[in-house]
Structure 1
């Protein structure tokens, strides 16, 4: 390592002035908490707590969806991936954006028409309530847990960077504090408070990224080619070409196909994104909200290209990797390079709000899934006492928060965009096949749904557990051991087709046919919205 790199590495352990960083940061958290408290005054019923009383317009919900979707992976992870891996890092941006077309064309409006609060409302509409709701709740909790890991890893790295904490114990403490704040937000605010935080955060994140993008372009004479040249000079010409992360070998090509499948198909199966469609009054507003989200998200991902290459050019890969939070530190380090401690504090506060808003959305989705699908619908058979469902949801929030903190401590240093790709793989394997079959295949049976959900979920988790992500490489979660036998980092290429295959196989081998009248009713409701506000229990 050269002297200059060593000096840069030493400097990178403390970025800016910790007390300035944390003051801006604390003020931001306080302001958003006030918003949550004000928004939570009307959280009396399950519809208020889960679906914000269906009171948001399409543009408001679209902005909130962008806020929900533009997570730590989008800002911290993708900027870092582009700074380190160049062209191959931008593939995450492309995959995350294209995925919205699948969600728009195949599920958004139909889900809004047939559901009430959760994904399981749609899946159990014409199938057996009990087993399907339990399976849907299981897959929802699994997807939310994987997604939460990414956000907690991002939050831990970000706050550690702000405070100059470079040891594992300190970073673990930071993750615990972040988890506690997250639990407080969701306990108090419900979906309405969470939605307002997501709207505020989306506006600030896109505005902050826009300012930094203009700044980076201004330094390079508003010439994108000059910026790419500077990035190539700092990180080598390879950052401009495909193959730095994927494509050099047959195995990495296969890994890329697996990642692409997970990213493109995963969004339409993400429970916390699907749940957002229930916060609008009509299916038309659901469609409008997705169109708004696509524009906002697409604009933001264009900014990540400039910010990623800007971080590579102005900071360099070695300094980024050496900072607390590793690859995820590229965007905050770039903010400090451009505008000193004030811009760093603002951008970091926005990034933290990003994580907080996404975590709140994930947690409330997981809590709603357990309390609405398992407790109210299966255990109490639809006869839960008034208020008890929301009480169970709040208890679930605390339990999920504890698991998220423990998991977040375990995945410190991992690229958050990569961790989110695993969540997308689980969602695409466990949820998407059942959603599409339920909406478009009249013959689809309860056995097909259970085989698809449990088979897709189980195969994705097993392949991740025995992949290089967990053991066997220098960047694995568990160091010093090697029990991996699955060579790919993302399981999508195996688990997604398997989820579809098991759904089909379970259905054609099922002896009991579902009620064709209910299947016809679901088809009419999904296409027209007729009766969408009615009960979904059959």
Structure 2
């Protein structure tokens, strides 16, 4: 039986350890950086063409890419946030895991293989294949940059927020310095390694993250005699809410529509995340693309099962009250559980894995944003597809530096703010602006340039307007601007329940009201390439 009387002592020890052992945490993180930087430099030796820089020369196997996708997808929010949500809110916290996992079935069944066969480097390659290049590529680049920016800002701000818990640096200057370090490392990884280097960083990070979650899960189960029901019982005993932690309603009771809106954004947004879609181009064949998504589903699915064990394990061994009172709030659940299980060393490893997670994700986002600007805006729109590969890669690298600087400044600027809405906003934009256009492009012959432009701009604008006038920005205690300012009229925290149907509707209306139809020859070519993969290696030039 777990001695819950020592929970306050555990909390005190945790805070003391966080403050007194930053050298251990930083040393482990520095080792990760050193190893991955060595690998990135080695991988960069073969970066000679745009295909090498943006798609890793299509040289990765499905298994390797599956690990890389899971590394790209499993952010610090997945590790720290979901474990904390389960520890505090039980069943409702686990609903995030279910949403993220189901989302991969959408990506596998509807998008992965066809995207790989039709595109070259970016999402816009697919969307503009049989449509007018300039307006569609411009719109696709803008939505891609929007998703990457919101996601990147959340990750950078999260890096600063985790500092107080993991490294014992509580002043704003120290946290700002950490954000700057993460940003600089991100720039170096992408500039030096391109997609090859970034992919290896993702693979290593996936091994570390999933491995750490596996070890801690087995450890928690071993303490309870490998009886998960005992873990649940101790979690119930430790919570003032009792058996309610095993039933729905603690977090979303009375907010069912709000949760449905969030769930739609999570489930449908994944298949429209540009940094995830870009990974389908790093494998040599459509078969490997399917294989990579199957691997990703197993890896991500296994990880989210571990989060269930870790979440309830943290509730049982640390206690919800201790977790909420610790620096970092609910995000402290996984590190405090590591401290309880393996002392400062395991906590140091978990801390380093959390930072490695942030670093790997921001590198993938930066590469995707740079590819979108250089390939879609610079080459395809400004240079009409006639820019040489060297100049395109050079513009991409300049873009990485600019994005990195903006991300550092933005991350420092939103420190201490409620930035959770940024991740939700990124998924909502992906589901509302990107996914409708992707599905229409792949499956509907009648889809037109006007439909694509209306869908992307309309979905983006609707999402931004609704989130601006929602409780996440104003009118609530947890709002970005606080309770004092209130101009919210949209009732939900996530706009997906409205913005996603609007994106699909605008794509349909724009297409059926277009008099000028698109080229039947290009439609036929796209269908052949989608389902056979014939010509998939060729550049998209028309």
TM-score by length of 1: 0.95
Q: Which residue among 210, 213, 236 is the counterpart of 1:206?
A: 210
- Shift of the 258–309 alpha-carbon distance from structure 1 to 2, 3 Å rule, reads same
Is the Cα contact below 8 Å between 1:76 and 1:154 reproduced in 2? Answer: no
Q: 1:233 aligns with which of 210, 232, 237?
A: 237
Q: Report the alpha carbon displacement of residue 385 of structure 1 after superposing the two structures with TM.
A: 3.5
Shift of 1:380: 1.0
The answer to whether the aligner puts 1:97 opposite 2:101 as a matched pair is yes
Gaps of 5+ in 2: none
Q: Is the 8 A contact 1:363 1:400 kept in 2?
A: yes
1:237-256 alignment to 2 at 5 Å?
237=242, 238-246=244-252, 248-249=253-254, 252-256=255-259
Q: State the alpha-carbon separation in 2 of the partners of residues 388 and 198 from structure 1.
A: 27
Report how many residues are paired: 533
Deviation at 1:179, TM superposition (A): 1.6
- Between stretches 117-126 and 200-209, larger displacement belongs to 200-209
- 1:65 paired with 2:69, answer yes
Give the superposition deviation at 1:425. 1.3
Measured at CA, do residues 399 and 13 of structure 1 come closer, stay the same or move farther in structure 2, by a change above 3 Å?
Answer: farther
Q: Equivalents in 2 of 1:407, 1:168: separation in Å?
A: 14
Q: Distance in 1 between matches of 2:247 and 2:413?
A: 33
Q: What corresponds to 1:116 in structure 2?
A: 120
1:172-194 CA-to-partner distances (Å, cap 9, x unmatched) read 33222222221221111110000
Aligned to 2:376: 373
Which of residues 424, 427, 435 is equivalent to 1:424? Answer: 427
Deviations 1:401-424 (A, max 9, x none): 223223333554678876433321
Describe the shift of the 1:150–1:221 C-alpha distance in structure 2 as closer, same or farther (beyond 3 A).
farther
> Shift of the alpha carbon at 1:149?
2.6
Distance 1:146 1:216 in 2: 35
Post-superposition CA distance 1:270-308 (Å, at most 9, x none)? 101110000001111101111111111111110000111
Correspondent of 2:329 among 326, 345, 353: 326
TM-score of the superposed pair, with normalisation by structure 2: 0.94
1:71–1:354: 8 Å Cα contact kept in structure 2?
Answer: yes
Instruction: Give the alignment of 1:421-500 within 5 angstroms.
Output: 421-479=424-482, 480-500=484-504
Partners of 2:389 and 2:270 in 1: CA distance: 33
3-state secondary structure, aligned to 1:481: coil
Residues 1:26 and 2:6 are matched in the alignment: no
Q: Are residues 1:221 and 2:225 paired?
A: yes
What is the rounded CA distance, in whole Å, between the counterparts of 2:135 and 2:218 in structure 1?
Answer: 53
CA displacement, residues 342-381 of structure 1 (integer Å, 9 cap, x when unaligned): 1111122122222211111111001100000000111111
> Displacement, 1:8?
6.5
What corresponds to 1:193 in structure 2?
197
The question of 1:158 aligning with 2:166 is answered no
Kept in 1: contact 2:7–2:319 (CA 8 A): no
Superposition pairs for residues 13-92 of structure 1, below 5 Å?
13-16=15-18, 17-92=21-96
CA distance in 2, matches of 1:323, 1:178: 24
Aligned with 1:281: secondary structure? coil
Does the residue aligned with 2:488 lie in a helix, a strand or coil? coil
Q: Distance in 1 between matches of 2:136 and 2:428?
A: 21
Shift of 1:536: 1.2
Change (3 A) 1:486 1:15: farther
Separation in structure 2 between the aligned mates of residue 314 and residue 414 of structure 1, nearest angstrom: 30
Most deviating of 214-223 and 284-293: 214-223
Structure 2 counterpart of 1:308? 311
Q: Check conservation: 2:29, 2:356, Cα contact below 8 A.
A: no
CA displacement 1:311-350 (0-9 Å, x = unmatched): 1222223332333333222211211121111111112212
| Alpha-carbon contact 1:55-1:281 (below 8 Å) kept | yes
Quote the Cα distance in structure 2 between the aligned partners of 1:222 and 1:417: 35
Distance 1:408 1:472 in 2: 23
Displacement of 1:15: 3.2
Contact preservation (8 Å) 2:54, 2:371: yes
Cα gap change, 1:98 to 1:336, in 2 (>3 Å) = same
Summarize the alignment of residues 406-417 of structure 1 with structure 2, pairs less than 5 Å apart: 406-412=409-415
Q: Secondary structure at the match of 2:333?
A: helix
Report how far residue 216 of structure 1 moved: 1.0
CA distance in 2: counterparts of 1:213 and 1:84, whole angstroms: 18
Residues 309, 105 of structure 1: CA spacing in aligned structure 2 closer, same or farther, 3 A cutoff? same
Q: Give the Cα–Cα distance (whole angstroms) in 2 for the partners of residues 516 and 255 of structure 1.
A: 42
- Aligned position for 2:352: 349
